[in-house]
Structure 1
């Protein structure tokens, strides 16, 4: 059976070497995509010229590059993660003319977080539930982010008990908010089943890590009775890949919290402006989704918070799985299919072409139909998409989530919406799944099936953008490294052109 772990990661050995390998691969991906330039005819290992013009970089491996070496004076030498971080900072300063002391610290924090997660995993048994195992499998994380596992620079003991990658599960803290201080919208009645609030108060679950982070700012509210502590839930929740979104299996419900920590590009608060537009956005997707098969939408039903700590204590209520899943299927996080987790359906496929066709049939039609017929742009990237598979591991259905990232036409232009859709669906999602599949089945050409899927939807939906995509020379690739280096707003998306594999060759 082909290895399912990224080729950059040693199968065993000391934790430091494994952490370096996990952290190096996405950082190299960013560097090679965004600022390095390939040297023609270099072959394998691949050779790139760096922006300063003074150094060459060569790497081995495919979608998860490994073993970086630098040539600055005629001699190649290996660089570890710490030296690579220093090199990247120097090259970005040469490329942009800007300095940024924060991002190198984030890169180091991300690597150290991986080391802590690996240590925790070595003494923890993975969960039996395949869905939970898939959500909690992501040791690499975003494959094109320079610091995908950074945890805000805080001590390991503060965040490790709540880390999905360490197979965490824990009860929620229960707070009571005085009724005259409650702010809520939508249907959040499911929260009331999490415990019991005394007369004059409403129940407000809280993420224990978030409460630790913002606790000092709530001293007055606890002192004057606007906020009271009511213990913890009688059941455990467990964190999904999104870290601050937890699943409560006993209630079949997802709850999403603020988390005052920068994870990838954003400080992960439930921002007031996002919450206030949530109802309109989610309503638009929920109204369209029932007509879009075989896809399903996990509705963000509403939020509850305290008016004196609107963002800090907000909790969002999201549909669970059971009413949406096709009968007899098991959901798996799409992002987990490109990483290593036990029993991934990609291992042991007898007919990879048929599996890939089924995957495309589940993911592509609903995404394009929401855009073409309803003006809805969902973020159909790997972490926002669950794939329901049958008993043979064959994809049957896609379930999409996260109204916070949804864009609506004409609030954004059709061109901007389409660009965002192509980035999320094709570059971030289908390219990654296709490459993971091809690692196991090198003889498979995945792109004719993708072209067929887009051609069919273009005809069915009268979607000229889908037709044009098949002849476009490039696709939009998000520049996460440059966005973080230049201090751009986390919600910004800037793209550079990438070769389009859908274009007939």
Structure 2
């Protein structure tokens, strides 16, 4: 098969899976009647396919697979007809118009953009060697990305050449741009001293690193500041950085540092700008999280967002957050890996090795669950402990020995949010988004292995007032990313629907 056809087919499959997950989770209904072929309670047929009814138009949809649905087909003219990604986007859009009574022209374009981005990423990966460092390889492995988002790889609709050089999934690495900000225009909070070591600023100026893609996006807005001397271009850094899975956060291994930038591009649900209101609370949330982890005494660690710096005349556009590197937190001899990569797959994934699934899973739960629960209950810190904000460090045998959490921007604090709302958010991030994906990936590789009894035992060990309800509730909250985006809700205004609770013996429905 020609390379172009192979990339096109793979791009369709990668882009269709998360869109199908959204449709099946949020809108479609399992169909017990496969047009005359009995199928009790929506169980798969002899070919491993499940049938769903789309309530808006009554059409039947058939897919193969579980965590990553494939081969979508619709029933028409007395037969099942295969649909490609473009046809799937049309089908989903028509269904959502009927289901919600609302039109949306932006989201279908993002869905198509996401698929085109995947094709560009796959082509780039075919011609670029993967990073040798297993940690970076894991951060740059997420070609599918968020498994329950309709357009996880959309890059703002811009031309491929504008964003591909900075795409983690394309194994990108690049220097940062160094700017000089006139001292009287510098705005900063917390410990930003690491930025001053990135280069040399002329007298009367302070260093401010910038993401080159962001500079391209907001360059016209900064023309006046460059013209009147408030900003200077000082050239690229002498070292390269690697973008992490978050795209706008980069790893500067040479400085043992992470830097998080503004990026005026919508990625998943939000435009990834460092908003002023988030920056204003960053020190408070980071201090609370850092204090909570310090009180635990390890081995779990918090990667502190220790400070931020920007220019007062471009407060959000040029903001950069300084985050701890790994060196001061990682256990000796341990290898950190992005947990989302375990679910997606990458070369070096410990789940592909000769691990005992029960022992590995119990070790994983011991590292991830206790810190998230304890900092919530004892310190009122609600971690956004989803797959992209959690690292798992493994020993030489691939066994989990430490969890590291990050991103103070996503942290909520009690009583700023009510405890019930904080608990719902924690359960969604930790259980629905995180543990179900890791459990599913492990179970796929070890047929017959049931990960949920061990997970139930781990949660039962913790004396939180919410645990009894968690272990008996028929359903857990799942975020409705498709409906959220279709109805134009703010990305931070999470809406949840109930999913069967695997901790009570149910199965997460797709």
Pick the TM interval, shorter chain: over 0.9
Paired position in structure 2 for 1:8: none
Paired position in structure 2 for 1:400: 405
Question: Quick one: which of 424, 441, 457 aligns to 1:419?
Answer: 424
**1:142 matched to 2:146:** yes
- Report the CA distance shift for 1:13/1:436 in structure 2 as closer, same or farther (over 3 A): farther
Paired position in structure 1 for 2:17: 25
Aligned residues: 492
Paired position in structure 2 for 1:4: none
**1:365 matched to 2:365:** no
Paired position in structure 2 for 1:243: 247
RMSD: 1.3
Correspondences of 1:94-243 after superposition (within 5 Å): 94-243=98-247
Paired position in structure 2 for 1:76: 80
Aligned structure 1 segments of 4 or more residues deviating by more than 4 angstroms: none
Paired position in structure 2 for 1:434: 439
CA distance in 2, matches of 1:350, 1:154: 43
Aligned-residue offset at 1:14: 1.3
CA distance in 2, matches of 1:340, 1:376: 30
SS in 1 for 2:254: coil
CA distance in 2, matches of 1:72, 1:380: 43
Aligned-residue offset at 1:327: 1.1
Paired position in structure 1 for 2:490: 489
Aligned-residue offset at 1:157: 0.3
CA distance in 2, matches of 1:420, 1:307: 33
Paired position in structure 2 for 1:473: 474
Aligned-residue offset at 1:73: 4.0
Are the counterparts in 1 of residues 300 and 402 from structure 2 also a CA contact under 8 Å?
Answer: yes
Aligned-residue offset at 1:349: 2.8
CA distance in 1, matches of 2:262, 2:453: 42
CA distance in 1, matches of 2:265, 2:102: 24
Unaligned runs of 5+ in 2: 33-39
Aligned-residue offset at 1:53: 3.5
SS in 2 for 1:366: helix
CA distance in 2, matches of 1:374, 1:222: 45
Question: Quick one: which of 441, 447, 451 aligns to 2:452?
Answer: 447
Are the counterparts in 2 of residues 381 and 425 from structure 1 also a CA contact under 8 Å?
Answer: yes
Tell me the alpha carbon deviations over residues 248-287 of structure 1, each in whole angstroms, 9 at most, x when there is no partner. Answer: 0010000000000000000000000000010111111111
SS in 2 for 1:237: strand
Aligned-residue offset at 1:490: 1.2
Are the counterparts in 1 of residues 311 and 319 from structure 2 also a CA contact under 8 Å?
Answer: yes
Aligned-residue offset at 1:13: 5.9
Question: Quick one: which of 267, 271, 282 aligns to 1:267?
Answer: 271
Aligned-residue offset at 1:399: 0.1
SS in 2 for 1:196: coil
Are the counterparts in 2 of residues 470 and 504 from structure 1 also a CA contact under 8 Å?
Answer: no
Unaligned runs of 5+ in 1: 1-10
Tell me the alpha carbon deviations over residues 364-402 of structure 1, each in whole angstroms, 9 at most, x when there is no partner. Answer: 000000001000000000000000000000000000000
**1:317 matched to 2:318:** no
CA distance in 2, matches of 1:336, 1:146: 19
Correspondences of 1:279-318 after superposition (within 5 Å): 279-292=283-296, 293-318=298-323
Tell me the alpha carbon deviations over residues 198-257 of structure 1, each in whole angstroms, 9 at most, x when there is no partner. Answer: 000000000000000000000110011000110110000110000000000010000000
Aligned-residue offset at 1:467: 2.0
